[in-house]
Amino acid sequence: MCQPNLLILKIKPMKIQQQIRANFDKNSIVVYQAYGKIIAENAVKNNKFQSPFSFNRMTWIKPSFLWLMQRSNWAEKANQNYILAIRISREFWEELLNEGVLTNPDKLIYKNGQDWDKKFKNAKVHIQWDPERSLRGSKLEIRSIQVGVSRFLIEKYNEKGIIEISDLTPLVKKINNLRKQGKYKEAKKLLPPEKIYDLPISIQNKIGIK
């Protein structure tokens, strides 16, 4: 008896996507940061950062809520137990991205390692892509962006980029309590809304959006 011909399909490995997902409107975008009590309370009260916030080192901002939850262990890490939602202008956000240099020498973007090294050493903004996280904390196939604002731009970020600073700590604790109880459907309903943030092709190519 003849065996039927079997169609063998070669399945290509899934490419990991790099995309910006964020809570944004026509004029602004929300990024997240985690701090200790004094820095956070001062920032919310004055709608800008003040000492003991450091203006002399790089500060990292992240538009992915769940990525920061993983980083701060849902506001349970020391000095990361206050979660701030910082609404900044889209104009400033895109200015940061346009200034950005990746933290790794992507061969599709930089001519060679020397080209990347020169640009990275002079960069005022660092861009890094990390695995996005699910509500349960597992890694996803999508990579989310985090943006490092250097000391050369922190003053501008603070004085001109920021529109509003809000304390999301009570919301974070509420969502985390639901997670701990296994109530993921209820927790999901409380997550800040996020959708894909489109950028000009020139910036996409520069920062490695795939």
> Could you tell me the two tokens for 184?
């993921």
Residue 210: the pLDDT is 73
Contacts of 24 (CB under 8 A, 6+ apart): 30, 63, 90, 195, 197
Number of H helices, E strands in the chain: 8, 10
Measured CA angle at 180 (ends 174, 186), to 5 deg: 55
The rounded average pLDDT for each run of 10 residues, N- to C-terminus, in the chain (210 residues) is 47 67 98 98 97 96 98 97 98 98 95 95 97 96 96 97 98 98 98 97 92
Question: Buried b / exposed e across 19-41, counting CB within 10 Å, b at 16+?
Answer: bbbbbbeeebbbbbbbbeeebbe
Is residue 85 within 8 A of residue 187, CB to CB? The reply is no
Residues in the chain: 210
Domain boundaries of the chain, sorted by first residue = 17-207
Residue 12: the pLDDT is 44
Is residue 30 within 8 A of residue 20, CB to CB? The reply is no
Q: What is the pTM of this model?
A: 0.90
Residue 127: the pLDDT is 98
Cα separation of 156 and 204, whole Å?
23
